[in-house]
């Protein structure tokens, strides 16, 4: 059954052509549409929907990762939530899940984190078999037009799920695996392309607004280049280049951030 029903206002821009003088004119209006989002535990019925969202999140830079095996693990042995609008049988529009560890993915993340000494050193310690600390991997993705207000209840329910099960899932740290972007220069037709800035000089942003808060309170984070897929190349044409993003955060800081998200984005 659904964990919870959440009504979220979603703004949509519309353009109308009108005018008493017979001339055409464009009027931008903002319309608020109230949508009931339902939250469910990940189940096998969600396999294809979650797999598609994982491809959206990881597919452009995840050649060493078995997406099918990862999806199977998520729907069978993970905590978290899916977000739907047409009942339990429909495809998820978003998901957030936690898993205690996946070997191939862990090796891949360590390889990527070598670009930044701080996060690499900490992950190397946390991902060893004899580590005294528990590290949880968090995957979160949603359709691009989903309102950010769905994030706080998803994270809240994840914490509730963790608190309701055994010590196996009592995590000391979380590694949020997400996707960000860096702004890039666009060469305009007929104009000489300006000297390209280095990636560190370009503005970096998050596709998921909550990640900015998690990064601010993290002990280490990393943006790294990833292979551009077909969909992502379209984004680059408008000056947005997707990046891989890792955010390592302590459990206590994670809980504070979730509380802050619920205060800021309450609906």
What's the CATH code of the domain at 207? Answer: 3.40.630.30
- Per-residue model confidence as pLDDT tens digits over 155-176: 999 888 888 876 666 899 999 9
Higher pLDDT, 147 or 16: 147
Are the C-beta atoms of 82 and 71 separated by less than 8 Å? no
Q: What is the pLDDT of residues 45-88, one digit of tens each?
A: 999 999 888 888 876 555 667 888 888 888 887 788 888 887 78
Predicted confidence (pLDDT) at residue 122 exceeds the cutoff of 90: yes
Distance CA 26, CA 40 (A): 41
Q: Answer whether residue 11 shows pLDDT above 80.
A: no
Six-digit token string for 11: 């703004």
- Closest to 226 (Cα-Cα) out of 136, 51, 108, 122: 108
DSSP for 158-202, written as a single string: HHHHHHTS-GGG--SEEEEEEEEEEE---PPTTSPPPPPPPGGGS
Task: Specify the pLDDT at position 248.
Answer: 96
Q: How far, in Å, CA of 250 to CA of 36, rounded? A: 32
In this prediction, residue 14 carries a pLDDT of 42
- Both structure tokens of 25: 């004119």
The HSE-up count of residue 168 (CA atoms within 13 Å, CB side) is 10
Domain around 123: 4-264
Question: Which residues, at least 6 apart from 140, have a Cβ–Cβ distance to it below 8 Å?
Answer: 57, 94, 95, 96, 97, 151, 154, 176, 178, 208
With a cut of 50, say whether residue 199 has pLDDT above it. no
Number of domains in the chain: 1
Q: What is the pLDDT of residue 243?
A: 84
Q: Please give the Cα distance from 251 to 193 (Å, whole number).
A: 46
- 106 — pLDDT class (breaks 50, 70, 90): confident
Contacts of 128 (CB under 8 A, 6+ apart): none
Which residue in 60, 137, 149, 133 sits closest to 104, CA to CA? 137
């Amino acid at each position: 059954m659904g964990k919870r029903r959440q009504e979220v206002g979603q703004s949509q821009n519309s353009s109308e052509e009108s005018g008493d003088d017979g001339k055409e004119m464009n009027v931008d209006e903002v319309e608020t549409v109230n949508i009931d989002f339902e939250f469910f535990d990940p189940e096998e019925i969600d396999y294809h929907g979650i797999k598609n969202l994982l491809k959206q999140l990881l597919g452009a830079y995840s050649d060493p990762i078995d997406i099918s095996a990862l999806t199977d693990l998520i729907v069978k042995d993970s905590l978290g939530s899916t977000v739907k609008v047409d009942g339990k049988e429909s495809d998820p529009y978003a998901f957030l899940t936690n898993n205690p560890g996946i070997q191939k993915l862990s090796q891949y993340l360590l390889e990527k984190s070598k670009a930044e000494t701080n996060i690499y050193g900490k992950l190397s310690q946390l991902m060893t078999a004899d580590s005294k600390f528990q590290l949880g991997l968090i995957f979160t993705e949603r359709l691009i037009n989903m309102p950010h207000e769905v994030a706080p209840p998803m994270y809240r329910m994840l914490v509730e799920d963790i608190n309701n099960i055994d010590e196996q899932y009592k995590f000391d740290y979380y590694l949020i695996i997400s996707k960000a972007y860096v702004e890039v220069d666009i060469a305009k037709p007929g104009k000489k392309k300006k000297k390209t800035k280095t990636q560190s000089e370009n503005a970096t942003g998050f596709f998921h607004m909550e990640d900015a808060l998690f990064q601010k309170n993290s002990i280490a984070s990393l943006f790294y280049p990833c292979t551009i897929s077909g969909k992502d190349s379209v984004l680059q044409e408008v000056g947005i280049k997707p990046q891989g993003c890792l955010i390592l955060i302590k459990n206590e800081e994670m809980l504070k951030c979730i509380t802050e998200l619920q205060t800021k984005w309450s609906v």
